[in-house]
């Protein structure tokens, strides 16, 4: 069995090509690109220059990435608190997170109700822990206690 050679570290031009190749498929945050490309080079300064160049050309934008990410995750029933946490993990600054979340055209209250209704169908109506199960689920999904309380009241009153 042949041992595969470790590929040669990429230079600045190779890093730019690899970054553009990644960005041609989907948007990435700056931190995500750094994580993906840092293992492919020994020159951290060149990588930072490439990332700066991409941002200057607006080929990479944390706010554009954040807006797309929030839209995608909210459509899957993820609430604002969890989205804030996930955006932090993706490397967005507090300012970018605030901008992205304030521009999101999502009715978080309506989304909480929709998610609660879907989950409530999976829980037996006579289950004594039904309300607690819904509360835990919505909390895990990242909704605030006000949103959760309103959603649960709305769902349970419509099923009574």
* Backbone phi and psi for residue 36, each to the nearest 5 degrees, phi listed first: -70, -35
User: Residues 102, 129: one domain?
Assistant: no
How many CB atoms within 10 Å of residue 48? 12
pTM of the entire predicted model: 0.86
* Backbone phi and psi for residue 84, each to the nearest 5 degrees, phi listed first: -55, -45
User: Residues 47, 19: one domain?
Assistant: yes
At 8 the pLDDT is 82
Q: Based on C-alpha coordinates, what's the Rg of the chain?
A: 21
Cα angle value 85/87/88 (rounded, 5°): 65
At 10 the pLDDT is 87
How many CB atoms within 10 Å of residue 7? 8
Task: Give the 3-state secondary structure of residue 80.
Answer: helix
Domain that holds residue 20: 8-60
Total structural domains within the chain: 3
Asked whether residue 3 is assigned to any structural domain, the reply reads: no
Asked whether residue 37 is assigned to any structural domain, the reply reads: yes
**Contact by Cβ (8 Å): 97, 60:** no
User: Residues 14, 54: one domain?
Assistant: yes
Q: Pick out the chain residues at pLDDT < 50.
A: none
How many CB atoms within 10 Å of residue 43? 14
CATH assignment at residue 126: 1.10.10
């Amino acid at each position: 069995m042949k041992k595969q050679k470790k590929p040669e570290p990429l230079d600045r031009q190779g890093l730019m090509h690899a970054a553009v190749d990644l960005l041609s498929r989907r948007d990435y945050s700056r931190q995500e690109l750094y994580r993906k490309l840092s293992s492919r080079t020994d020159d951290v300064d060149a990588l930072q220059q490439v990332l700066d160049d991409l941002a200057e050309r607006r080929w990479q934008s944390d706010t554009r990435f954040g807006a797309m990410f929030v839209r995608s995750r909210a459509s899957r029933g993820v609430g604002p608190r969890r989205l804030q946490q996930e955006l932090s993990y993706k490397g967005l600054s507090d300012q970018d997170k605030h901008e992205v979340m304030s521009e999101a055209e999502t009715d978080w209250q309506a989304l909480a109700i929709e998610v609660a209704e879907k989950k409530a169908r999976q829980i037996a109506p006579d289950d004594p822990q039904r309300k607690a199960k819904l509360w835990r689920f919505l909390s895990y999904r990242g909704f605030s206690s006000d949103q959760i309380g309103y959603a649960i009241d709305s769902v349970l009153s419509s099923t009574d």
